[in-house]
Structure 1
């Protein structure tokens, strides 16, 4: 039975690797001023919509679609829709694809659990690293929000092995959950030992590392070739500061766990280019109309990479300033996604919510419709939760225990 289960997935893997090979060749041209991906995106879009017509018949019936409609005629879909009608978003081909359950904290206070297939994020990450000058043998250090066991943190070990490979996400991660004035020296001791060529991670955490270097007049014993900032809104003053302290160039990457948008900055303008091979990007006003260049609207995406759920015209809740479209390549002048909110421990040390919430991917997010955190005193927070129908005491326990174990927050 196990062999049969694996055999069913052979067509999926065959198509996946064929797509990867094709994308790798096409992405080389993405940064060229005359890049034209109109035909490529049309191919990707037609391919995904054709699959969706077969895989999600209930979705099409519910929304009165017959499959002949242009993408702009599809309805806008939100997290609320997916929670309210989960049966519409289940593929008929679950047995044939490779997927897993994922969760996101929700940059606008709306947590979300969903299914995601193996997708083409790695080949896009590979493209971006090559833009940054990555060479085989370079070491990448990830700065994320992973939870570490007390057996490690009690020994001032704030890193963990991620992978046997450096590429594309790094072999080791430093968890910024435990980054304080008292622990920072241990972070740098590990960095000096590892001697990474690149840092990749949360803007707020890498900014704090830069502050530590400058205020102590430190001289690093390694040279960074570049820094990739992800997962948070990044401010201009942070980019300038980080570049000055680490004497290297900062790149930014914008995307979601939902695998529907891959955007990256490519020069000193810090504008984002969106890959038309990964997904379709729209920037819409409150009435669902596409904004003009220079105007700000909500980022709405259509995935060409996730076959487990139909992320078609999916409302992300993020805001962006639209910078125009040329050759099917959408430019975003600025992106306002996840914030850099902070809560404080009883000893008045800051804890980054990006790490504590977005980095840990709680199961409870599946059962929370909306939430809000309020802090009125050091070391304590108040949860305001709009519970979903499946919310239980187990979800509440998960949140309480994680906040306490990882940050000492009640």
Structure 2
């Protein structure tokens, strides 16, 4: 159970950063980078070894551009390491949350988070939703990789929420949504697309969301059009991965994606592992600024994007 009063404070501070002057925000981010790199070197055997093998010291990482000095890390390297090598020594004896990647690349992998890190991920997710139109009291249904149906927030008025497992069939998902009548629906875009086709085929009725958020896969224009037709409401695309949480999101203008640079640094690299220029395609490499239990530095997820200044 999240500490929702603490999260409300996080949400307000994170919303203020959306309008903070970029120069000030970059200084704050680079301060976090210096702390994160030093912390990872001193507390995580995997990174300590990586730095020493490459004659690298945390003092050499001072600015965002200095992250390029750190070798890019692939999923198979993390999978080959032991848990003791990946978990910070400060968290060895703590109970951690664990979430697993879907294994779409054939390489499922488990990420470990502290209570605070899990809450931060929820805050970054909610910040985008709130900016677009979700309210603190909006009934909210998410279809995620949880193992079982779960109802949240019974003891607070904030964000009444249910989690519906993606493994449920569409009939069962639809019945639970009719029962809960959410204003906000969120889930993997492929899951939402499957549900939309079920609703259209069966001509089912029973709930009408106000906003729909999809993540995990970029939807085609025709898929977006059908989802908006069936749900009778706007669809907003968001980018995330299990290893780092939400990284970017569409606003109402839908002219591109806003990057959550205060949470995850995204670099776009070419085949030579050099950062591409604005407007050029590159593979996305992530550095999470808030994973301390299991830090993620310069992690290549092999998704492709185009940065725009």
For normalisation by structure 1, the TM-score amounts to: 0.62
Structure 1 residues not aligned, in runs of 5+: 1-12, 149-159, 326-410
- Name the counterpart of 1:323: 307
Assess, with a 3 A threshold, how the Cα gap between structure 1 residues 193 and 83 changes in structure 2: closer, same or farther.
closer
Does structure 1 residue 55 correspond to structure 2 residue 43? yes
- Name the counterpart of 1:291: 276
Query: Offset at 1:66?
Result: 1.7
- Name the counterpart of 1:199: 185
- Name the counterpart of 1:357: none
Structure 2 residues not aligned, in runs of 5+: 61-65
* Structure 1 counterpart of 2:163, from 146, 160, 173: 173
Pairwise mapping of residues 271-286 of structure 1 onto structure 2 (< 5 A)?
271-286=256-271
Which contiguous aligned blocks of 4+ residues in structure 1 show a shift greater than 4 angstroms? 19-23, 32-36, 95-98, 145-148, 165-170
Assess, with a 3 A threshold, how the Cα gap between structure 1 residues 260 and 172 changes in structure 2: closer, same or farther.
closer
Query: Offset at 1:304?
Result: 0.7
Query: Offset at 1:135?
Result: 2.3
Aligned length: 291
RMSD: 3.1
Report the Cα distance in structure 2 between the residues aligned to 1:77 and 1:169, rounded to whole angstroms.
Answer: 36
Does structure 1 residue 78 correspond to structure 2 residue 74? yes
Assess, with a 3 A threshold, how the Cα gap between structure 1 residues 112 and 245 changes in structure 2: closer, same or farther.
same
Query: Offset at 1:240?
Result: 1.5
Say if 2:138 and 2:160, in contact at 8 Å, map to a contact too.
no
- Name the counterpart of 1:67: 58
Deviations, residues 273-296 of structure 1 (Å, cap 9, x unaligned): 221111211011121011223322
Query: Offset at 1:199?
Result: 0.7
Say if 1:76 and 1:315, in contact at 8 Å, map to a contact too.
yes
Say if 1:228 and 1:250, in contact at 8 Å, map to a contact too.
yes
Structure with higher Rg: it is 1
Higher strand content, 1 or 2: 1
Report the Cα distance in structure 2 between the residues aligned to 1:168 and 1:106, rounded to whole angstroms.
Answer: 33
- Name the counterpart of 1:345: none
Say if 2:178 and 2:207, in contact at 8 Å, map to a contact too.
yes
Say if 1:23 and 1:277, in contact at 8 Å, map to a contact too.
no
Deviations, residues 81-123 of structure 1 (Å, cap 9, x unaligned): 2233446534222247663444223342222234333411021
Q: Per the alignment, in what secondary structure is the counterpart of residue 75 of structure 1?
A: coil
Report the Cα distance in structure 2 between the residues aligned to 1:280 and 1:173, rounded to whole angstroms.
Answer: 28
Does structure 1 residue 246 correspond to structure 2 residue 227? no
Q: Per the alignment, in what secondary structure is the counterpart of residue 214 of structure 1?
A: helix
Report the Cα distance in structure 2 between the residues aligned to 1:20 and 1:290, rounded to whole angstroms.
Answer: 36
Deviations, residues 216-251 of structure 1 (Å, cap 9, x unaligned): 444x44431101112333222211211122121112
Q: Per the alignment, in what secondary structure is the counterpart of residue 167 of structure 2?
A: helix
Deviations, residues 8-43 of structure 1 (Å, cap 9, x unaligned): xxxxx9xxx6x984673243342x597553222222
For normalisation by structure 2, the TM-score amounts to: 0.80
